[in-house]
Structure 1
């Protein structure tokens, strides 16, 4: 087996300046037999244990959420990402994404409990803990004997996570710290066995992480369960620490390294949150299709109406593109981890650096897929009409559960700004060459356009050329903005968000195109006409977003001749030679959905 080295792997953010071949991306069609068995095991668990009991989750049965967590622990699914040495399955990053994906489709309550425990409850110890800490705590967390929670947010510290006021004071004998403070929105608080708590020692610039066992006799108390719009059976409480004693050996990593732990935990959480929205989209789309086939108006099923078919096609298309992008990024991270390990890095270091390398993609996916599931569930309600608004159908709970995804793991506004900010920082460090390609685009704008019509005889030839041009549009806008504002760019938040939307759509559109091109080479284009239609439809929609956000960005910093030149360039880089028949694309997709009576891609 050929060894993958870091030089062979496209770096995070490099998709904007480097062409990716379809053979170099991982897709769900590439799942191994073992991964397919894992997927089917998870799906069977959800269909048997979770989906039939949705009413219990909606009725705030927290004890049932805990019971389901114990059952999934018995299956070994809480330890998928945990190394075998600490009682886990030691599987790769793609496998962990796959489990997050399929275990999260039925209800956001269980999805949140699972994600909080396996991610921010367990992972900080796995990746930052000492050998003694890992041996003591991780096996219990991997098996479901214990559950974990993560105490970062405070009344005055949300997006600004490092501003927390919780204090940790070293005892006079130097054996323990006393932690005092208030934490809020703590998932799994009601049934957890330990907390990952962030507190400030003296006047340190950065917070410090601690492993704190949940013992009410040790100065730990909680408010009642929060009453929330969605994820109703996800235990969410405020937690209070009053001189809570924590042994010095329970400090996580080093003093002042808590902010680093928090940020890296969020990177992993972001891509896994995107994965956790995927099966929800599939299930919502399937529910909408089934209802549309069964609901008759004017003596015909409403699935025969063009307005309904357009909605179904768009719902399926966003799910397909999100899925394509999530597994592409997951495999990029996994390859980077393996390359680091092959070069002698520890599992801890390799995973941390592997995820950190693709932090841009993690933020892109978090934003894109969390918004897609919200839109998908909203359209699901619309297709069901009055029934969609009723608690008797699963659509309204799907919509309510989806709403939190745009808030936690860093709000979508924060993540949009992070996308561009991290890209600029990588460029300044020389990790991604943005300056060279941006200068070439600027030179190209001053030249005479090539009016010769290219040969588009190969599948996706025009689409891939258009993807390349959309990247040029981003480089043109972002490059001009950096030149205009320099280090002050970060203070122009609306411009950053516009640029981020351009990035997001480029990554998802390219991922859908590459996945479908790869599929066509193995199955034949005539066998996947619906997937081809979805890839083309997503690109069409993405191009519209790039046009709108490009205009917004340009108008925010350019005037006069500069503005006219940039707008001319935007038109040039977003122009189709042969615009697709969008109505026909949607019809192709909807026909397959209606025929199969579920999301079938």
Structure 2
């Protein structure tokens, strides 16, 4: 067996976390950042603190010129090209580093985060990954430097989640030299200042849409609507775009005819994990501002941070942020390693990155859902800690809450992503990429067998928690396996069951990621150094067990009856039973006191 094959066998495929054990030493954590990555992180954070955070209020007053100005400065730093190969004037950084930049550049304001994400991701990446050599040489260097900005025109009034249902048409000219594009696009980020757009249109009656690189020229049949009035991301330019026989040279077709849907779906996979990364520093900043206020705000002659109700909020906010970091960088490094393996195996950069991200599409959807909901909860609790001041636009909580709301809609709604995560897992199982059948059958046999009454030895760190994770995986296999057996190919029609199964899957991945990160760091830095991290990992798992219990019960009661239902409910109780219940109050106190003492998110 050669080295590549050996590494390939060691690296779990997407979705296999559910049925194969992951060892703590095999996960990547934020504590594993290289010195180069730390320098990149610190330089990005310094730029945001110096240039962006002091102007936060201006971003709330529809200052689109400010967003464009900041994007140019980011381009001058080279950060718009962090993921662009060096041969096209980019930095050519690895996938983890690109996520790290996205993480720290996105925390101050959703307006700049959206502009950055739309430009570097869906505005530039499709050309980098699908473009011809001529297309990449012509467009990518300008996009990487910030000389030009990019946008992505997919959504239409009648085509949102059903992206392939767009009505925009592309008609080939009689001389075969160009296509005339006519149609309407909406919710187009960066449209007010973009130079290029990735536009999707249908040629004749093709089953699938086609992608085109379109230069933004008002004299070529392109008009813009007024800036949209939005709940949040006020300085993110968002307009409708109208194409009226816009002439696009045939050489500007992206990939091949009918490949637009494939481009769109793969762009969304990358966009989902990048969106997850973009929600991390936003949480850190909200937590830091919240604890600063709680330490300064006195009521009844004491700081409100001394109140148990406030400690509870700070502990839960910090826990979610820590877990989200753990899961995001775990998945990001898996993608980076898969890309490297493909390059080593002879794939081009384009194919390696596309296939590397596609391999972990399940994890990308999981992260998008979990973190978008955590950032919304974090900002909501931030408002609550600030009290009446939190509702005022004079404090950063109000805008943070509004900006957070879009993340549950971006890159496919959370409902779509929940159903996708389970649907993709089932499809992987059918292709033989993830063995769900044998583990599911083993769980079914266990349900009818005699349970063990031996008391396990839980003396090692996280021994009970890891055993609980293993049991929670059995819950998913029990529920999903029975649902697949009952509904077969009609499973997609039973969305409530799919949603419940997805929530189980999400909680397993997030909880396991935190436990593995903390276990790895406890082994190398010492258990005493990870006291709060251990508490956060245990606290999150406690909540995960509750959520999984509720969602599994909902699913079981929805599709199972009689003896089957009774047996599955008994199995659920067995698989969610703690031997030693954690002291939740003490865990929260431990976490909160660290946050309060540091007067910031400290982990």
Q: TM-score, normalised by structure 1?
A: 0.99
Q: Distance in 2 between matches of 1:16 and 1:149?
A: 37
Q: For residue 575 of structure 2, what is the aligned residue in structure 1?
A: 573
Aligned match of 1:306 in 305, 308, 313? 308
Q: For residue 70 of structure 2, what is the aligned residue in structure 1?
A: 68
Instruction: Quote the offset at 1:309 in angstroms.
Output: 0.2
Aligned match of 1:331 in 330, 333, 336? 333
Contact 1:39 1:99 in 2 (8 A): yes
Q: For residue 50 of structure 2, what is the aligned residue in structure 1?
A: 48
Q: Distance in 2 between matches of 1:137 and 1:297?
A: 58
Equivalent runs, 1:85-96 vs 2, <5 Å? 85-96=87-98
Q: Distance in 2 between matches of 1:267 and 1:48?
A: 32
Instruction: Quote the offset at 1:451 in angstroms.
Output: 1.3
Q: For residue 9 of structure 1, what is the aligned residue in structure 2?
A: 11
Q: Distance in 2 between matches of 1:6 and 1:367?
A: 28
Q: Secondary structure at the match of 2:51?
A: helix
Contact 1:93 1:333 in 2 (8 A): yes
Q: Could you give the per-residue CA deviations for residues 257-313 of structure 1, whole angstroms, max 9, x where no partner exists?
A: 000000000000000000000000000011111111011111111101001100000
Q: For residue 415 of structure 1, what is the aligned residue in structure 2?
A: 417
Q: For residue 57 of structure 1, what is the aligned residue in structure 2?
A: 59
Contact 1:231 1:401 in 2 (8 A): yes
Aligned match of 1:522 in 524, 547, 550? 524
Instruction: Quote the offset at 1:528 in angstroms.
Output: 1.2
Q: For residue 27 of structure 1, what is the aligned residue in structure 2?
A: 29
Aligned match of 2:86 in 84, 87, 92? 84
Q: Distance in 1 between matches of 2:380 and 2:111?
A: 19
Q: Secondary structure at the match of 1:5?
A: helix
Contact 1:6 1:340 in 2 (8 A): no
Contact 1:149 1:192 in 2 (8 A): yes
Q: How many residues align?
A: 601
Q: Secondary structure at the match of 1:172?
A: coil
Q: Could you give the per-residue CA deviations for residues 447-480 of structure 1, whole angstroms, max 9, x where no partner exists?
A: 1111111111110000000000000000000000
Instruction: Quote the offset at 1:9 in angstroms.
Output: 1.0
Equivalent runs, 1:260-339 vs 2, <5 Å? 260-339=262-341
Q: Distance in 2 between matches of 1:488 and 1:392?
A: 51
Q: For residue 440 of structure 1, what is the aligned residue in structure 2?
A: 442
Aligned match of 2:548 in 538, 546, 550? 546
1:225 matches 2:257: no
Q: Distance in 1 between matches of 2:599 and 2:570?
A: 45
Q: For residue 353 of structure 1, what is the aligned residue in structure 2?
A: 355
User: Which of structure 1's runs of 4+ aligned residues deviate more than 6 A?
Assistant: none
Aligned match of 2:162 in 160, 174, 178? 160
Contact 1:83 1:89 in 2 (8 A): yes
Aligned match of 2:475 in 470, 473, 490? 473
Q: Distance in 2 between matches of 1:308 and 1:5?
A: 47
Contact 1:481 1:557 in 2 (8 A): yes
Instruction: Quote the offset at 1:434 in angstroms.
Output: 0.1
Q: Could you give the per-residue CA deviations for residues 322-373 of structure 1, whole angstroms, max 9, x where no partner exists?
A: 0000000000000000000000000000000000000000000000000000
Please give the root-mean-square deviation of Cα atoms over the aligned residues, in Å.
0.8
Instruction: Quote the offset at 1:8 in angstroms.
Output: 2.2
Structure 2: which 5+ residue stretches go unaligned? none
Q: Secondary structure at the match of 1:448?
A: coil
Equivalent runs, 1:103-502 vs 2, <5 Å? 103-502=105-504
Contact 1:152 1:198 in 2 (8 A): yes
Q: Distance in 2 between matches of 1:73 and 1:186?
A: 21
Contact 1:179 1:242 in 2 (8 A): yes
Contact 1:226 1:237 in 2 (8 A): yes
Q: TM-score, normalised by structure 2?
A: 0.99
Aligned match of 1:98 in 90, 95, 100? 100
